RNA sequence: GGCUCGUUCGUCUAGAGGCCUAGGAUCCCACCCUUUCACGGUGGUGACAUGGGUUCAAAUCCCAUACGAGUCACCA
């Protein structure tokens, strides 16, 4: 049996698209499931300046998600180079071969002429197919043109008398009429290859057995099949997976529609969170990192397991009930026949729910390691104070329990780490600046000051006794106390909060809150 | 417009002729737990695009229609 070889061929755009990541994942999964090889190839055929810089975030996305590649940038391999910009000779050789065999031809038509042809076709409402004028030129003229180096593109001569058929692993039988296909340009005037051609040469050269790519490439397939045939290549198996759409829409998720996503109710929370968190840790805002980019999820504190689980489940399922999937489980069960045919929307809610689950699986140590950088980068704790803070951060995380969904959520309880707290005005007025509450708070602070042991049990006991004596509901004090000590209406249990803030500081904050009411 | 693909709860999906008065998850709602929030528990709303066939029987097969989408470059 031949080894399964899959590939993902990103072009260096400076960021990794979350939808593209899903395509990459499926390729990776299929390779791993079959103990095959996953190849990363860089599609930098056109004018990229800083390939290195633009490729960085893409490789980083793979590294973050722990999707390793067997051949490609940084690791090399036997079928390199893995940058298309370095494979020029291979493409030229393939072009020469087709030219020599009469399967391709030099086309001397100018872009203006082509454009005119196209417009004419449109005007007459007939499908456009390129006119093979250069093929009609007399031999002598052709020779002359070639000798004088007249600019020409090379077109592949489509055999228009046949059908092209494939058995797509996901879509099944698909066929096209080759008579409707224009002769594709395979080499530009400047000698560089075009995508459709480079892909074919590279897939064959890299011995790719399964071309798993998004459905939008389906219409490129007949041309590529024809090209493979002309080159005498073995034709790879195709699997066109549905593309990922924007939440709540049926349109392909695209960076171009970002401004629309901002107001998309399904997406809004993600943008809002970005605008809240990124400025604090010096990473800009949702303008610089947004949910279309994989980097967004990394930097806002998602877990690879959460993102991976979500990606694997959009367009693929294991059975009728399993939702929580580790990467290993997915590798074990991943098959192409369980990929759905219709496009699937990225679902932020579901992603978030997977994230919650995987976060809850983490050990305390892992959570501390994940959260600490946020506190440091936001300037809330000193990086040097690591040892001292470490245990305290752990206590905070412990008190947070399941409330911690993203690592960046630790920033929501900055009041445990900072001297000054910011009151939520609305809640302060509602729960502290209320008849009888300031007096209660003052009395409570006096009593806890006398406590020998500052523990949850004692704090609770004290509070209940006080409320009983004053004949008020415990809720009255509890709510006011929470706001007074943390400034926020939500968070860990109120006694935990008291403990974490500490005896002295708690009393101090209660006093400050009461004063604020009086003045 | 041509070509191609697709259409099951709001969303992600299960479903390969009888197991389907359509299952799970998520979201949402209610209740319980908790005098916060979150977790957890219980329950609820909610879908086979439409029309024709084929068949004893169709979400499942066939055909049409509608709708949606992708693609039609010297982009990738």
Distance A297 CA to B15 C1' (A): 33
Q: Is the CB of A41 under 7 A from strand B?
A: no
- Give the pLDDT confidence score for residue A273 in this predicted structure: 96
**Closest nt by CA–C1' to A463:** B35
Secondary structure (3-state) at A6? strand
Catalytic residue among A207, A255, A430, A470: A255
- Give the pLDDT confidence score for residue A73 in this predicted structure: 96
| pLDDT at residue A450 tops 70 | yes
- Beta bridge partners of residue A252, listed in sequence order: A245
**Closest nt by CA–C1' to A404:** B38
Question: In the annotation, is A63 catalytic?
Answer: no
Range 455-514, chain A: CB under 7 Å to any strand B atom: 467, 473-475, 478-479, 482, 489-494
- Give the pLDDT confidence score for residue A409 in this predicted structure: 97
Distance A402 CA to B41 C1' (A): 16
**Closest nt by CA–C1' to A196:** B76
| pLDDT at residue A203 tops 80 | yes
For B24, nearest residue by CA–C1' is A321
| pLDDT at residue A115 tops 70 | yes
**Mean pLDDT in residue range A301-320:** 97
pLDDT confidence bin for A41, thresholds 50/70/90: very high
| pLDDT at residue A390 tops 80 | no
**Closest nt by CA–C1' to A174:** B4
Radius of gyration (C-alpha) of chain A in whole angstroms: 31
- Give the pLDDT confidence score for residue A337 in this predicted structure: 95
Q: Is the CB of A215 under 7 A from strand B?
A: yes
Encode A504-515 in three state secondary structure.
Answer: HHHHHHHHHHHH
pLDDT confidence bin for A432, thresholds 50/70/90: confident
Considering chain A, what is the average pLDDT of its residues? 93
Task: Return the minimum-mean-pLDDT range out of A50-54, A169-173, A262-266.
Answer: A50-54
What's the complex ipTM?
0.95
Distance A342 CA to B49 C1' (A): 15
- Extract the runs of DSSP E, i.e. beta strands, from A84-124: 104-107
Q: Is the CB of A153 under 7 A from strand B?
A: yes
**Mean pLDDT in residue range A170-187:** 94
| pLDDT at residue A387 tops 80 | no
- Give the pLDDT confidence score for residue A45 in this predicted structure: 78
Distance A111 CA to B4 C1' (A): 27
Q: Assess contact for A515 and A423: CB atoms under 8 A.
A: no
**Mean pLDDT in residue range A442-461:** 92
**Closest nt by CA–C1' to A347:** B11
- Give the pLDDT confidence score for residue A99 in this predicted structure: 96
Distance A322 CA to B24 C1' (A): 8
pLDDT confidence bin for A268, thresholds 50/70/90: very high
A46-90 confidence digits (pLDDT tens): 665 678 889 999 999 999 999 999 999 999 999 989 999 999 999
Q: Assess contact for A313 and A325: CB atoms under 8 A.
A: yes
**Mean pLDDT in residue range A225-253:** 95
| pLDDT at residue A385 tops 70 | no
A124-166 confidence digits (pLDDT tens): 888 899 999 999 999 999 999 989 989 999 999 999 999 999 9
**Mean pLDDT in residue range A414-424:** 90
Q: Is the CB of A442 under 7 A from strand B?
A: no
Report how far apart, in Å, the C-alpha atoms of A371 and of each of A108, A276, A368, A376, A488 are.
Answer: 62, 16, 5, 9, 20
Listed as ranges, the nucleotides of chain B within 7 A of a protein C-beta are 1-8, 10-16, 23-27, 35-39, 68-76
CA atoms lying within 13 Å on the CB side of residue A491: 27
């Amino acid at each position: 049996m031949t080894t399964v070889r899959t590939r993902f061929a990103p072009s260096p755009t400076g960021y990794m698209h979350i939808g593209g990541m899903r395509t990459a994942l499926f390729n990776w999964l299929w390779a791993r499931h079959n103990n095959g090889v996953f190849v990363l190839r860089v599609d930098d055929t056109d004018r990229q300046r800083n390939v290195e810089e633009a490729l960085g975030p893409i490789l980083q996305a793979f590294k973050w998600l722990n999707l390793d590649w067997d051949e490609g940038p940084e690791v090399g391999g036997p079928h390199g180079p893995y940058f298309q910009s370095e494979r020029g000779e291979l493409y030229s050789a393939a072009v020469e071969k087709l030219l020599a065999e009469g399967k391709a031809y030099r086309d001397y038509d100018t872009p203006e002429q082509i454009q005119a042809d196209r417009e004419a076709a449109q005007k007459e409402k007939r499908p456009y197919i390129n006119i093979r004028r250069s093929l009609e030129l007399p031999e002598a003229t052709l020779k002359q043109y070639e000798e004088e180096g007249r600019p020409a593109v090379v077109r592949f001569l489509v055999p228009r008398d046949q059908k092209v058929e494939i058995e797509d692993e996901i879509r099944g039988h698909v066929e096209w009429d080759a008579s409707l296909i224009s002769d594709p340009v395979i080499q530009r005037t400047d000698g560089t290859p075009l995508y459709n051609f480079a892909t074919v040469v590279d897939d064959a050269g890299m011995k790719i057995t399964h071309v798993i790519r998004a459905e939008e490439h389906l219409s490129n397939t007949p041309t590529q099949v024809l090209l493979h045939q002309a080159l005498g290549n073995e034709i790879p198996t195709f699997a066109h997976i549905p593309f990922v759409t924007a939440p709540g829409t049926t349109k392909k998720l695209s960076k171009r529609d970002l401004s629309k996503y901002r107001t998309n109710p399904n997406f809004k929370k993600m943008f809002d969170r970005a605008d809240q968190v990124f400025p604090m840790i010096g990473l800009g805002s949702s303008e610089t990192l947004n949910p279309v980019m994989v980097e967004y999820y990394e930097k806002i504190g998602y877990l690879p397991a959460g993102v991976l689980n979500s990606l694997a489940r959009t367009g693929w399922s294991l059975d009728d009930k399993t939702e929580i999937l580790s990467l290993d489980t997915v590798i074990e069960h991943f098959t192409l026949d369980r990929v759905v045919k219709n496009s699937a929307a990225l679902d932020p809610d579901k992603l978030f729910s997977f994230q919650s689950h995987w976060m809850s699986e983490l050990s305390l140590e892992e959570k501390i390691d994940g959260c600490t950088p946020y506190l440091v980068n936001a300037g809330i704790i000193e990086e040097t104070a690591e040892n001292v803070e470490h245990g305290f951060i752990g206590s905070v995380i412990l008190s947070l329990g399941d409330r911690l969904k993203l690592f960046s959520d630790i920033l929501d309880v900055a009041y445990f780490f900072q001297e000054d707290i910011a009151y939520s005005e609305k809640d302060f007025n509602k729960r502290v600046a209320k008849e009888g509450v300031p007096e209660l708070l003052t009395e409570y602070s006096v009593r806890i000051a006398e406590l020998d042991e500052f523990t949850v049990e004692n704090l609770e006991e004290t509070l209940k006794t006080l409320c009983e004596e004053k004949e008020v509901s415990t809720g009255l004090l509890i709510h006011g106390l929470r706001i007074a000590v943390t400034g926020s209406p939500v968070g860990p249990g109120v006694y935990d909060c008291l403990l974490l803030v500490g005896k002295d500081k708690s009393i101090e904050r209660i006093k400050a809150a009461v004063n604020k009411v009086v003045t």
